[in-house]
Amino acid sequence: MNLSAVRANRTKLLIMLALVVLCAAGYMLIEVNFANPKLFQYAMKLRTPKLVVMLITAFAIGGASIVFQSVINNTIVTPCLLGMNSLYTLIHTAVVFFLGSGSLIATNANLSFAVDVVLMGISATLIYSWIFKKTRHNVLYVLLVGTVLTSFFGSIQSTLTRVMDPNEYDTLLTTLVASFNNINSEIIVFSLILLAVIVFALRRELALLDVLTLGKAQAINLGVDYDRCIRRLLLGVTLCIAVATAMVGPISFLGLIIANLSRQLLKTYRHSQLILGSALFGMIVLVGGQLIVEHVYTYSVPVSVFITVGGGLYFLYLLLSRKKV
């Protein structure tokens, strides 16, 4: 990649960063009463945790999506194919079905977050580590098993909701849709620590992503332990998605949108730029979308609905444009 292209990408990333700052400033300051210090402080107290959670979610999903697509070597797949979103909905449905909506796990946000992360993290570690060894490190088999698990978890969840008390089901629905309206600020620090540990543990594998995309044979010839790197990266992706999903709920198409927008805008093989671009796109989509939801639609429609509809249309566009090539 020549020097002019590198400089052009840096300029694009700086422009995206400026847009993130602009969206964040608009979200924090629009319709805020500056004349009354108490009202201003109250508004900041409500909006700051939401903004931080949106930024964390965008970083986790954006980075995980780029890594996942590079590992799978396919740009129209998304980490939700690993089954984490379906497992999240199954966990919450099972809690309400067996323990009730008034149970401690269902009502305590901290405990619910811990249960989500622990169960999804353990499931990802056990299932995908075992599958990876059984399939002799075949990534496509792992992706296929993830798709089967998504259907399996979804079928169990659907069965439980059909025999569930209608009143309990109404309570459950609010937790199954991604929302930033009720954020528990106490889980922010915990989430940041988890993501920092994941990134630190995978720092060597992330640095080798540019080499891994050359293919297994080329990577091995260059001295890379290909199977170990792929296995660790897949586990890191599932854990990042688990953290993001546990914080706000399932957002299926967000990773697909921001990862492909980053690839189309930057047109580079450097994953450091692609991951940063994907995270910045995610921040723009989430913060800008939540700004519209709160001040245009007055909370009547969650931002995840717009992302799902837009993501579905964008997915069709990617499929059709790929067929034309």
Residue 324 has pLDDT above 60, yes or no: no
Q: Which residues contact residue 202 at a Cβ distance below 8 angstroms, ignoring those fewer than 6 apart?
A: 232, 233, 236
Q: Length of the chain in residues, anyone?
A: 325
Cβ distance 95 to 104 under 8 Å?
A: no
Which pLDDT tens digit goes with each residue over 54-92?
A: 999 999 999 999 998 888 888 888 887 778 888 888 888
The amino acid sitting at 73 is N
pLDDT score of 325 = 40
Exposed / middle / buried, residue 136 (Cβ in 10 Å: 0-12, 13-18, 19+): exposed
Model confidence at 137, in pLDDT bands (50, 70, 90)?
low
Model confidence at 109, in pLDDT bands (50, 70, 90)?
confident
Distance CA 304, CA 308 (A): 6
Model confidence at 24, in pLDDT bands (50, 70, 90)?
very high
CA distances from 171 to 58, 66, 85, 100, 293 (A): 27, 34, 19, 10, 22
The overall pTM is greater than 0.95: no
Of 102, 261, 74, nearest in space to 168 by CA: 102
Residue 1 has pLDDT above 60, yes or no: no
Distance CA 259, CA 314 (A): 12
Which pLDDT tens digit goes with each residue over 209-260?
A: 999 888 888 888 988 888 888 888 888 888 888 888 888 888 878 998 999 9
The amino acid sitting at 36 is N
Q: In 3-state terms, what secondary structure has residue 121?
A: helix
